[in-house]
């Protein structure tokens, strides 16, 4: 008797997804609630768990297919293992081997690989780790995992890939005959299907340009005071809270202060109404393997520096591992994007609809500035505020950045709400 595996509910307004990868092959043993497939939605990768323990049976859809919520994608057979013949027939139904293609290995042929994977059986990889393994063409069973219970992490795979490249680059013994010179001027093209996440990013960014009256205003900030405060207290901060004191805590706090004074920057347009909010849910733009994601720091106005830094660090780690959830990215009233970590000096960020503004941070760079009539070198950062001019006037946008500048150049303002 077989149990159906169906596409689970993916979240509000999400009705379909793309089957990104099968995590189990036909014939593999499966535990209850163990992930058997990875789905790519408009925002994150979602793992589909097995409803029962048994053996992976027929896979109804192939990788890359679009599936709707509730659709049948596979079946789990009863028993601890399916005969090799049945597994091969099931695999052939989904991915038939054509002329000249290598057929699926038989049970006895696959046994050594299973032994290499450990007594627990075949390796279970997260979507992010599996993606890197496939990109570099590595055998995960030959990589030592440093994660919990010996599981592979993305860093483990990247380190193995780097070691393999270094080994390949080592000078080889001189051949007896001179090697044929490589062809010069060779032109190559590669076509890669856009992921669902990348398609959604493109759609939303274009939608923002087509709908909002976008405008960007700039200011620069002397980061001397923030850098001195961070240098003075970072060791004590880390000792007490178990997290490093970064710059984002200062910027989130300064943004909340400025948004309180200029509420339209934290508002949005819904139909013919303007929605003002007395809370701040900050969307933090984070780089993920498949593109930019924006998990939400909720009620940021009420959070301490430690809570802000811990939450942002957790977002970054889970974005890298591909474990962010739809709930993590739901909502958001204002966005902060830090292009400075990649070396950006200046940019014009695009708002994240239905939000009305986004703050762009950039790299800190020593530049000559005039202080008390003297030219001195100071660590300066450009700030950019892109906003919807339908809702936010230029005066309000400029005032918002001035409030940010004042708070960052004199962090005491953050403590006394000034």
Separation between Cα atoms, residue 9 and residue 365, nearest integer Å: 47
Same domain, 270 and 381: yes
Burial of 292 (0-12, 13-18, 19+ CB in 10 A): middle
**pLDDT digit string, tens, across residues 160-195:** 887 877 776 655 554 555 555 556 678 888 888 777
Mean pLDDT of 118-128: 55
Residue 285's Cβ-side half-sphere holds a number of Cα atoms within 13 Å equal to 20
Domain annotation covers residue 365: yes
Share of the chain above pLDDT 90, in %: 35
156 in catalytic set: no
Residue 95: predicted pLDDT: 46
Instruction: Give the pairing of strands 334-338 and 357-361.
Output: parallel
Radius of gyration of the chain (CA): 26
More confident residue, 49 or 179: 49
Residue 412: predicted pLDDT: 86
Domain annotation covers residue 165: no
Report residue 88's pLDDT band, with 50, 70 and 90 as the boundaries: very low
Report residue 90's pLDDT band, with 50, 70 and 90 as the boundaries: very low
Domain annotation covers residue 61: yes
Mean pLDDT of 285-294: 76
Q: What SS3 class is residue 268?
A: strand
Burial of 413 (0-12, 13-18, 19+ CB in 10 A): middle
389 in catalytic set: yes
CB atoms within 10 A of CB 211: 14
Give residue for tokens 């002329």. Answer: 99
CB atoms within 10 A of CB 406: 15
Last residue of a domain, one of 75, 101, 124: 124
Report residue 116's pLDDT band, with 50, 70 and 90 as the boundaries: very low
Question: Of 45-54, 128-137, 193-202, 382-391, where does mean pLDDT reach its minimum?
Answer: 128-137
Q: Give the contacts of 3 (CB within 8 A, at least 6 positions apart).
A: 51, 52, 54, 75, 76
More confident residue, 319 or 333: 333
Q: What is the DSSP letter of 245?
A: -
CATH code at 400? 3.30.559.10
Domain count, the chain: 2
CATH code at 117? 2.40.50.100
Which of 321, 393, 410, 417 is flagged as catalytic?
A: 393
CB atoms within 10 A of CB 335: 23
Residues facing residue 380 across a β-bridge: 222, 365
**pLDDT digit string, tens, across residues 27-43:** 888 888 888 888 877 66
Query: Are 355 and 335 a contacting pair, CB within 8 Å?
Result: yes
Which of 113, 139, 389, 410 is flagged as catalytic?
A: 389
Query: Are 93 and 85 a contacting pair, CB within 8 Å?
Result: no
More confident residue, 124 or 367: 367
Same domain, 292 and 410: yes
**Tokens representing 385?**
């505020």
- Domain membership of residue 118 as a residue range: 2-124
More confident residue, 123 or 194: 194
Mean pLDDT of 287-293: 72
Instruction: Give the pairing of strands 282-284 and 334-338.
Output: parallel
Last residue of a domain, one of 124, 153, 177: 124
Average pLDDT of the residues of the chain:
80
Domain annotation covers residue 206: no
Same domain, 232 and 373: yes
Last residue of a domain, one of 91, 124, 157: 124
């Amino acid at each position: 008797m077989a149990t159906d595996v169906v596409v689970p509910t993916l979240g509000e307004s999400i009705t379909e997804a793309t089957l990104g990868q099968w995590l189990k092959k036909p014939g593999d043993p499966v535990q209850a609630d163990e992930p058997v497939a990875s789905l790519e939605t408009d925002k994150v990768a979602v793992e589909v768990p097995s409803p029962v323990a048994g053996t992976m049976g027929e896979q109804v859809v192939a990788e890359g297919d679009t599936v709707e919520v509730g659709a049948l994608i596979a079946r789990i057979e009863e028993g601890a293992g399916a005969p090799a013949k049945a597994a091969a027939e099931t695999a052939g139904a989904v991915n038939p081997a054509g002329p000249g293609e290598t057929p699926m290995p038989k049970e006895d042929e696959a046994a050594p690989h299973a032994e290499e994977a450990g007594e627990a059986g075949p390796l279970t990889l997260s979507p992010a780790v599996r993606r890197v393994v496939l990109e570099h063409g590595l055998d995960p069973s030959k990589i030592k995992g440093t994660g919990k219970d010996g599981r592979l992490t993305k860093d483990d795979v990247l380190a193995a890939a780097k070691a393999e490249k270094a080994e390949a680059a080592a000078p080889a013994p001189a051949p007896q005959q001179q090697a044929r010179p490589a062809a010069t001027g060779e032109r190559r093209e590669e076509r890669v299907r856009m992921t669902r996440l990348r398609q959604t990013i493109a759609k939303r960014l274009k939608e923002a340009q087509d709908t909002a009256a976008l405008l960007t205003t700039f200011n620069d900030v002397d980061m001397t005071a923030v850098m001195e405060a961070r240098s003075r207290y970072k060791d004590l901060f880390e000792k007490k809270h178990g997290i490093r004191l970064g710059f984002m805590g200062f910027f989130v706090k300064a943004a909340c202060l400025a948004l309180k004074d200029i509420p339209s920057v934290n508002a949005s347009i819904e139909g013919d109404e303007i929605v003002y909010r007395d809370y701040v849910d900050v969307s933090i733009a984070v780089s993920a393997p498949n593109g930019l994601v924006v998990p939400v720091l909720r009620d940021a106005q009420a959070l301490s520096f430690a809570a802000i830094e811990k939450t942002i660090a957790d977002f970054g780690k889970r974005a890298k591992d591909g474990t962010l959830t739809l709930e993590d990215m739901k909502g958001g009233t204002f966005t902060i994007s830090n292009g400075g970590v990649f070396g950006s000096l200046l940019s014009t960020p695009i708002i994240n609809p239905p939000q009305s503004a986004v703050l762009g941070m950039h790299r800190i760079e020593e530049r000559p500035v005039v202080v008390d009539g003297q030219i001195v070198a100071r660590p300066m950062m450009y700030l950019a505020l892109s906003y919807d001019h339908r809702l936010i006037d230029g005066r309000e946008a400029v005032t918002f950045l001035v409030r940010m500048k004042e708070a960052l150049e004199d962090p005491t303002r953050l403590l006394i709400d000034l």
